[in-house]
Structure 1
Amino acid sequence: MGTHLTPTHPIILSDSYGIAMTFEPPLTEQRFVLDHVAGFPALAAHEQFSTADAKMTDAILEGAGALAAGKWAPLNRLGDTVGAQWSDGSVAMPGGFHDAYHSYVNGGWGTLTAPHEFGGQGLPTALGMAVSESLGAANLPSRFVRC
């Protein structure tokens, strides 16, 4: 397990002031921890988590890393410098946050570990934590924003 992950390179981001930031999803480290610390192969062998095979797990880690690097990380500095704005009884987020949040929702990222009977994907919490790590590392406040 874990040998199919696509090698990643740091994604270099630059804000309007030319300040460069980098973000690289820790895919290799996440897969190592899942496989060798959390015992993910044994967990995935249980019928309840049978869809969490190596191929699916790699796809989820890579997809979450791409979302984190491509949508969430570029907004990190903007969120710090512009922030949410309160006006006429509502909160407006800086440009890009709405799109990033909808990519998260439409991709089903918030339902990974929720039970099937409640509309979730029923995947192991350990995998959901790895996804949360990528998203939180890319832009922690985005993890809690509902646009």
Structure 2
Amino acid sequence: MKYLLLPLFILCCSITFGQNLEDTPFKGAKKVIAAYGIQGDELITYLCQQLLDYGYTPDKINREFHFITTEEKNQETIVYVMRIYIRGDVVEYSAREASAYEKGKQEKQQSEYGSNTGLFAHHECFNDMMEFIKRTKPDKIRFSK
């Protein structure tokens, strides 16, 4: 009986977790997940330096919770903020975007990612963030809901 349960458990886990991660971007993806060979404070310092080198400005850095947000970055008629959450050697990238013409900060905060369009409604922002992520030279990149 126990030999029967193990394959069933593995099958259920692969179906459940396998649908959430993809190697290529897909509609409705809300996160880009990258794995690195370093971790902790060393990874935070590395990513902050990469952000500065690539033209992003780190806005908030929380070393206790391993979280970084950037200041708004303009990409044509859109502004976006990148959010970086570090868990060991795995980094979750997500973001929020808004029209550069929206008047108030509150309006910008209300246009969070992940409604029906997933990560980005505008390909320029997605491409810019992906260029940054690839420049950081992760070992692996995946996409998640």
| TM-score, with structure 1 as normaliser | 0.30
- Structure with the bigger RCO (C-alpha within 8 Å, sep 6+) is 2
| TM-score, with structure 2 as normaliser | 0.30
